[in-house]
């Protein structure tokens, strides 16, 4: 693995300065997962570094960048719809640069479609190209030709890319990029490439910076954080639990979350670490995808329902009060009613606090795209409705069971009712309570007094 450092591109900054009479404005919108949102924050950082200002409305922008997600078809359609809606704006403002980056841009057929059918898209670059954006923009301003880069993967990690974070108290911190798992439904390994881990020292330095800047919630990101460490040099080799211990040794008032954990690599050592480290949230997002061994094998997940439940049980023993969340795919090709009953059964047995549910979306180029998929759409949506109903009942009961406790929450924003704040518990639940806005971004102690559906209600406790 090659590690590089970002360098300010003075020539590009100078060119941008010369090209516009007043500093140009950029509108950057990110779709998809937190990894992508964090990439969007770095894209903004790089743009500011070469003289752009940032704006919240596409109409005000000289540069519009969509940082896209490819994980499901629906996400892609939304992007094409939003890009299509910019045609009129470009006609009115010919100097406007419209760009697309992120996961969709790492698919050959998407780049081809943009080339053929969206002539007003000027700039396309993939997930590994954020540090090259200044040079691309400079070329675009000089040559005035479209630059649509073909998907390519770079076995490089670029450190020190400037960043404009969206929050002053919650931060995303990537520890690794890419994925080597090749679950048969998933496009991510094709668009985000092979796993590459950041060096522990680089992660620690960024982490210390965040703590010093007053960040309270730091979420470590990776497609599969449990396989952190692959490819590191021998002298700095460590696994994910070692990394957590390294970070937790940093003094300060903060908590750490992480995602996503793959059940095949989630170790007892990891659970022991969660038990031992007060800075780690007592919550585990452990996507199971489905509750049928037959389908788990077809998904190439490398674990069984029994193995998964063993992990959950071990976590419950070692970490009292731990809660779980998961991702579920409904309607994977060939899913039978019996397979689906297995999923319902597993969901009931675990008792998830939250479930992120998706109807299977066919992704061209993945193995599952060629699997027979005879189940009608109506049947899949019916299964989804039944899953959501089951989960709702479980979540309501779990939420109600919290009432009466006094907990520490991070105050994140305003609540729905006038004069209330909204805070988040370790277990990711939200509580609303009366309080002053000055508490925003701070920890507060809240007594949980009731619940409205799956939102807790509470009052400040002193
Ligand atoms: N169809 C539906 N859901 C998918 N996911 C990933 N690929 C697909 C797909 N092709 C879901 C998985 C994953 C989450 C991020 O997105 O549940 O855990
Ligand atoms: Fe979407 Fe996956 Fe890319 Fe995240 S990594 S933006 S979920 S395709």
What is the model's pLDDT at position 40? 98
Share of the chain above pLDDT 70, in %: 100
Q: How remote is the CA of residue 329 from the centroid of ligand 1, in Å? A: 6
264: left (phi over 0), alpha (psi -120 to 50) or beta: alpha
Distance CA 462, CA 445 (A): 7
Distance CA 113, CA 84 (A): 12
339 upstream amide cis, omega within 30 of 0: no
Render pLDDT for 255-313 as a digit per residue (tens, 0 to 9): 999 999 999 999 999 999 999 999 999 999 999 999 999 999 999 999 999 999 999 99
Closest-CA residue, ligand 2 atom 6, reads 69
Q: How remote is the CA of residue 356 from the centroid of ligand 1, in Å? A: 10
Mean per-residue pLDDT, 428-452: 96
What is the model's pLDDT at position 287? 98
Beta-carbon count within 10 A of 73 CB: 12
What is the model's pLDDT at position 202? 98
- Substitution site in 185, 226, 369 for ligand 1 pocket (most atoms within 8 Å of beta carbon): 185
Mean per-residue pLDDT, 345-357: 97
Render pLDDT for 24-62 as a digit per residue (tens, 0 to 9): 999 999 999 999 999 999 999 999 999 999 999 999 999
Reply yes or no on whether the pLDDT at 462 is more than 80: no
Ligand in nearest proximity to the CA of 66:
2
Does 248 show up as a binding residue in the annotation?
A: no
In 137-209, which ranges are E strands? Answer: 147-148, 156-159, 170-174, 176-177, 196-197
Decide: 191 in ligand 1 pocket, CB within 6 A. Answer: no
Q: How remote is the CA of residue 454 from the centroid of ligand 2, in Å? A: 27
Ligand in nearest proximity to the CA of 192:
2
Distance CA 449, CA 454 (A): 13
Query: What average pLDDT does the chain have?
Result: 96
Share of the chain above pLDDT 90, in %: 97
Helix-helix angle 377-402:337-350, to 10 degrees: 10
Does 101 show up as a binding residue in the annotation?
A: no
Q: How remote is the CA of residue 185 from the centroid of ligand 1, in Å? A: 7
Render pLDDT for 88-110 as a digit per residue (tens, 0 to 9): 999 999 999 999 999 999 999 99
Q: How remote is the CA of residue 330 from the centroid of ligand 1, in Å? A: 10
What is the model's pLDDT at position 73? 95
pTM score: 0.96
SS (H, E, C) 23-53: CCEEEEEECCCHHHHHHHHHHHHHHHHCCCE
Render pLDDT for 421-435 as a digit per residue (tens, 0 to 9): 999 999 999 999 999
What is the model's pLDDT at position 131? 97
Q: Which residues line ligand 2 (CB under 6 A)?
A: 32-33, 35-36, 69-71, 103, 187-188, 191-192
Which residues, including other chains, have CB under 8 Å from residue 235's CB and lie 6 or more apart?
Answer: none
What is the model's pLDDT at position 243? 98
Do 111 and 80 form a contact (C-beta atoms < 8 A)? Answer: no
What is the model's pLDDT at position 153? 85
Ligand in nearest proximity to the CA of 362:
1
Decide: 100 in ligand 1 pocket, CB within 6 A. Answer: no
């Amino acid at each position: 693995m090659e590690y590089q450092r970002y360098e300010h591109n003075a020539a590009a900054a100078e060119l941008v300065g010369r090209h516009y009479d007043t500093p140009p404005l950029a509108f950057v919108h990110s779709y998809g997962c937190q990894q992508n949102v964090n990439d969007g924050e770095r894209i903004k950082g790089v743009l500011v570094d070469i003289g752009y200002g940032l704006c919240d409305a596409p109409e005000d922008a000289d540069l519009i960048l969509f940082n896209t997600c490819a994980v499901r078809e629906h996400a892609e359609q939304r992007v094409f719809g939003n890009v299509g809606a910019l045609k009129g704006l470009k006609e009115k403002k010919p100097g406007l640069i419209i760009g697309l980056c992120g996961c969709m841009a790492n698919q050959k057929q998407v780049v081809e479609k943009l080339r053929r059918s969206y002539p007003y898209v000027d700039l396309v670059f993939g997930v590994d190209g954020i540090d090259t954006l200044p040079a691309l923009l400079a070329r675009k301003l000089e040559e005035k030709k479209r630059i649509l880069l073909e998907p390519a993967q770079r076995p490089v990690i670029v450190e020190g890319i400037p960043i404009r974070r969206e929050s002053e108290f919650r931060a995303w911190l990537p520890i690794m990029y890419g994925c080597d798992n090749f679950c048969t439904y998933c496009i991510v390994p094709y668009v985000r490439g092979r796993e590459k881990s950041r060096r522990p020292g680089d992660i620690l330095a960024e982490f210390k910076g965040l703590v010093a800047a007053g960040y309270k919630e730091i979420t470590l990101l990776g497609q599969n954080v449990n396989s952190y460490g692959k490819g590191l040099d021998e002298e700095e080799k460590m696994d994910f639990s070692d990394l957590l211990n390294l970070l937790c040794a940093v003094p300060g008032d903060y908590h750490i979350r992480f995602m996503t954990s793959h059940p095949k690599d989630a170790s007892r050592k990891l659970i022991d670490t969660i038990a031992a480290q007060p800075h780690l949230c007592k919550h585990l997002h452990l996507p199971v995808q489905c509750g049928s061994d037959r389908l788990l094998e077809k998904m190439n997940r490398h674990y069984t329902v029994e193995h998964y439940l063993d992990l959950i049980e071990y976590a419950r023993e070692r970490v009292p009060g731990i809660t779980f969340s998961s991702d579920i795919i409904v309607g994977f090709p060939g899913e039978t009613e019996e397979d689906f009953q297995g999923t319902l059964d597993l969901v009931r047995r675990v008792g998830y606090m939250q479930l992120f549910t998706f109807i299977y979306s066919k992704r061209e180029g993945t193995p599952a795209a060629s699997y027979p998929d005879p189940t009608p759409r109506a049947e899949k949506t019916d299964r989804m409705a039944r899953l959501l109903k089951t989960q709702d009942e479980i979540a309501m009961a779990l939420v109600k069971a919290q009432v009466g406790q006094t907990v520490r929450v991070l105050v994140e924003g305003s609540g729905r009712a006038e004069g209330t704040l909204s805070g988040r518990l370790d277990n990711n639940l939200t509580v609303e309570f009366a309080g002053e806005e000055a508490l925003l971004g701070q920890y507060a102690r809240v007594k949980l007094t009731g619940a409205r559906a799956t939102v807790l209600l509470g009052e400040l406790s002193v």
